[in-house]
């Protein structure tokens, strides 16, 4: 990115200098100079296009891990006011609706892992269905699919998949209100019949990690984290159902925009007014997709606990937090001294409520919401907490991962999966996968430096670092 087009308006915050032409909202990029310069020009174009959408409030924003996406940049955040003609955009949520991370803390010390690491890796790989189109043992009837789309993680708990205690630490307490299974196509439901409790492919993973460093002792104590402790992160979303919802509604929204005369700066930004029939239908379908992802991560949590119990009897795995990355949520935010209901799109970005927010569990209310920045299989991940400042800076949003630095095609050209698996094994990291091609596509070097992303997220005031996690086992599709 040509940084001469930007002005640093606050520490680690860069605003695109207006260049005349069509009016738009401000465009803000968060991150260090190094990260912002490394963003491709397509991110500038996409964030600028978002800034031209009807009803946008404040700025179109890109988080420190931002890179090129479909319509919105991945790492894009924007809020819209329904009272001002604000829109909802399927491209602003993404195809992998409610892709997110469930983080589990354990009662295990990292020193207990080496003797059992290979067996635990094998056990998790056998228990967790992973890969393109992979299905699990749980197969749902049409009626059960609808129940799951309404009940989310609560539905899974009711089916015996782990504990009701998990739900306090899941967004929306496990079920997103307003889900409308009737707005989800039969094809989308068919694609999901055997995919609840499966990991998927691409950048999705289940990773066993060890806390290597604590940055904030008070927050770490609230989160139940300590140096040397084993944690587990499960990264996945709504699988085929979410992808089909995105596909279906991009078509219907494009037709709605044409019918309503909505100017689209990019066809990939197909959208509909929040209060239109199309907008309401998409929101109902998207909320059903969120519940699908929450149910999926709940079932995977159950399978993970079973695999640990086989290898490490007495292991306890508690949900630290479950947070989604690809959503549009109705939230109340203070703008120009007045609280307004806004529809906040976060695509490849995480909600990050600060201390005192009423929606946080009591355990975390004093320190802020847990925020998970996932790394890649050979690097590291971070646990952070939301800040009070992020409400004004980013509608309480933060980075969600390292962010890709190159395309999957380029990664395949540079790395071979088998060699990467062997290399990481030499570093004490066990990889289990059905696709060596997928390993190459997700090579650690294909991503930005997660340490720089996490530090920039903190320096920009979006979230504060709490703990550094290093991988020991990674299961991938």
Catalytic residues: 400
DSSP notation for 214-235: ES-HHHHHHHT--TTEEEEEEE
| CA distances in angstroms from 264 to 71, 87, 448, listed in the order given | 10, 11, 31
Strands 327-335 and 205-214: unpaired
Measure the N-to-C terminal CA separation of the chain; round to a whole number of Å.
33
∠ Cα 348 424 227 (to 5°): 70
């Amino acid at each position: 990115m040509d940084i001469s087009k930007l002005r640093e308006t606050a520490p680690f915050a860069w605003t695109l200098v207006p260049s005349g032409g069509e009016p738009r909202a401000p465009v803000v990029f968060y991150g260090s100079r190094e990260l912002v310069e490394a963003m491709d020009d397509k991110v500038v174009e996409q964030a600028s296009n978002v800034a031209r959408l009807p009803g946008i409030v404040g700025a179109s924003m890109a988080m420190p891990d931002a890179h090129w996406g479909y319509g919105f940049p991945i790492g894009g955040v924007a809020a819209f006011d329904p009272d001002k003609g604000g829109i909802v955009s399927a491209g602003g949520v993404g195809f992998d609706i409610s892709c997110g991370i469930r983080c589990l803390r354990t009662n295990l010390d990292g020193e207990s892992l080496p003797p059992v690491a290979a067996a635990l890796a094998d056990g998790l790989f056998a228990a967790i269905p992973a890969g393109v189109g992979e299905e699990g043992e749980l197969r749902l009837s049409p009626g059960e699919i609808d129940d799951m789309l309404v009940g989310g993680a609560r539905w899974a708990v009711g089916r015996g998949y782990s504990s009701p205690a998990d739900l306090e630490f899941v967004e929306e307490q496990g079920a997103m209100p307003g889900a409308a299974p009737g707005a989800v196509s039969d094809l989308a439901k068919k694609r999901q019949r055997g995919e609840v409790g499966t990991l998927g492919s691409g950048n999705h993973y289940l990773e066993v990690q060890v806390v290597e460093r604590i940055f904030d002792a008070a927050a770490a104590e609230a989160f139940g984290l300590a140096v040397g402790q084993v944690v587990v992160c499960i990264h996945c979303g709504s699988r085929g159902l979410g992808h089909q919802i995105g596909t279906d509604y991009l078509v219907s929204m494009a037709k709605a925009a044409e019918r309503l005369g909505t100017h689209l700066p990019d066809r990939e930004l197909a959208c509909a007014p929040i209060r239109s029939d199309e907008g309401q239908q998409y929101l109902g379908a998207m909320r059903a997709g969120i519940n699908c992802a929450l149910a999926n991560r709940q079932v995977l949590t159950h399978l993970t606990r079973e695999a640990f119990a086989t290898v490490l009897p007495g292991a306890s795995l508690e949900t630290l937090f479950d947070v989604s990355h690809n959503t549009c949520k109705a939230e109340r935010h203070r703008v120009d001294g007045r609280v307004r209901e806004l529809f906040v799109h976060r695509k490849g970005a995480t909600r990050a409520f600060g201390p005192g927010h009423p929606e946080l569990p009591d355990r975390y209310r004093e320190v802020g919401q847990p925020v998970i920045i996932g790394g890649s299989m050979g690097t590291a991940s971070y646990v952070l907490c939301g800040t009070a400042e992020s409400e004004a800076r980013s509608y309480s949003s933060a980075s969600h991962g390292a962010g890709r630095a190159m395309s999957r095609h380029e990664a395949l050209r540079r790395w071979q999966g088998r060699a990467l698996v062997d290399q990481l094994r030499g570093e004490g990291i066990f990889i289990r996968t059905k696709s060596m091609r997928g390993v190459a596509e997700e090579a650690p070097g294909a991503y930005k430096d997660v340490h720089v992303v996490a530090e920039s997220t903190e320096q920009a005031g979006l979230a504060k670092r709490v703990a550094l996690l290093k991988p020991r086992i990674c299961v991938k599709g």
